[in-house]
Chain A
């Protein structure tokens, strides 16, 4: 059941450059999208989110873009820093009641080279 897909298992970027992580979804009922960062042996850390009524949300070095017609979102990190090296998960939620369960993608391992 691949409702949320991250097709790039890994990405390598030079420090100071832009990192672009991509995510596709299939369920048109999803109306809230989140990005999480995860280090080994730790829990996912919330980074940034976007509601389906918007197409862009920015927070410091992180910007999330949502293209509803393409069912695609992306996370831009600029400038990338070595401390950004981690696994990044895209997650989606549908407002189907009081649950708001998150459906996660498989993650993209970002390596930022000094």
Chain B
């Protein structure tokens, strides 16, 4: 069964450093997302990406964040200068977004645990 994969599973970085989190969405999906979950809190939307551009971003997704689909398979989230409060689980998701059948199920990867020290 196709699945979303993410690397690395755990990333430790120092404050101020740049990190790139990588995702391989399900191959025939068209919509891509990043979410995060700070320990003990709810899963929060960061950004959605469709047709090679950002569709929507949340208030969390400030200028320190960027996303890219550098080739036909990878989808990356870059944090330019990490802060302590960026420590969280980051989940990538993808969706086929079938408007005709009105189905919008998003399938999530296993997550990357980012620890900023």
A32 on the B face (CB < 8 A): yes
Q: What number of residue pairs across chains A and B have CB atoms under 8 A from each other?
A: 74
Residues of chain A lying within 8 A (CB to CB) of residue B93: 43
Residues of B contacting A: mostly: strand
Question: Is the CB–CB distance between A98 and B50 below 8 Å?
Answer: yes
Question: Is the CB–CB distance between A98 and B97 below 8 Å?
Answer: yes
Question: Is the CB–CB distance between B42 and A99 below 8 Å?
Answer: no
B44 on the A face (CB < 8 A): yes
A74 on the B face (CB < 8 A): no
Question: Is the CB–CB distance between A99 and B55 below 8 Å?
Answer: yes
Instruction: For A42, give the chain B residue with the smallest CB separation.
Output: B110
Question: Is the CB–CB distance between B103 and A49 below 8 Å?
Answer: yes
Please measure, in the bound complex, the distance between the C-alpha atom of A93 and the C-alpha atom of B93, giving whole angstroms. 14
The proximity string for A residues 16-52 relative to B, scoring 1 for CB distances below 8 Å and 0 otherwise, is: 0000000000000000101010000111111001010
Instruction: Identify 7 residue pairs between A and B in the complex whose beta-carbon atoms are under 8 Å apart, listed by A's number.
Output: A43-B110, A53-B102, A95-B99, A102-B43, A103-B45, A104-B42, A104-B44
Binding site for A on B (CB under 8 A): 4, 6, 31, 33, 35, 41-45, 48, 50-51, 55-56, 58, 91, 93, 95, 97, 99, 102-111, 113
